[in-house]
Amino acid sequence: MSRHSTIRIQPAPTAKPKPRDPVASGERDAAVNRAANHNYFLLDRFEAGVALRGTEVKSIREGKANLKDAYGLIKDGEAFLLNAHIGPYSHGSYSNHDAVRTRKLLLNRQELRKLWGKTQQKGFTLIPTRLYFRRGKVKCELAVAKGKQDWDKRETERKREADKEARAAIARGRKS
């Protein structure tokens, strides 16, 4: 009689899933306009979608977006993002996008009316503060902003320093 041998099959080693990019998953902002808080008083904030090309989205995921000189504009009942720099995609071909082009912002009609009314007042403008991903779509946070004068910037710096010193004094008091 022949003897049957049992064959044991080893389970395949489970590969550890590669962690998802924090920018693509929405855990971290793709681009932040740090100069906006320094140069403007930021009042109301709105979330807007951005109409982009495919290579632009991939480039934003790579972290090649810059909002430093960007601003928003409402014209003919539509909102646009101007001077936002999105670098060319590294693996793009002849169909790569222009780095600085006018991009349409996607807002509903009520938000457009509110923004248009606020920006018609003297001294107010639309400033993009950050680009981020939400559910796989690129979103832009727009702020209605009023420009700061030099003395306003100095006053803001003084307040920041005073708050920092107060926090340090409280921390020193807790240690002793």
Q: Number of helices and strands (H, E) in the chain?
A: 4, 9
Q: What's the rounded Cα separation, in Å, for the pair 130 and 87?
A: 16
Q: What does the block give as tokens for 159?
A: 């307040």
Q: Where are the alpha helices (DSSP H) in the chain?
A: 34-39, 54-61, 109-119, 150-175
3-state secondary structure of 63: coil
Q: Rounded mean pLDDT of 147-169?
A: 86
Residue 86: closest CA among 105, 110, 62, 112: 62
Residue for token pair 């790569």: 96
Q: What does the block give as tokens for 53?
A: 């090309």
The pLDDT value given to residue 104:
92
3-state secondary structure of 86: strand
Residues contacting 155, CB < 8 A, separation 6+: none
Q: What is the pLDDT of residues 98-137, one digit of tens each?
A: 778 898 999 999 999 998 988 888 888 899 999 998 888 8
pTM, 2 dp: 0.72
* Ordered structural domains, the chain, with CATH: 31-148 (2.40.280.10)
- Per-residue pLDDT at 1 exceeds 60: no
Mean pLDDT of all residues belonging to the chain: 84
| Backbone dihedral region for residue 30 (phi beyond 0: left; psi -120 to 50: alpha; all else: beta) | alpha
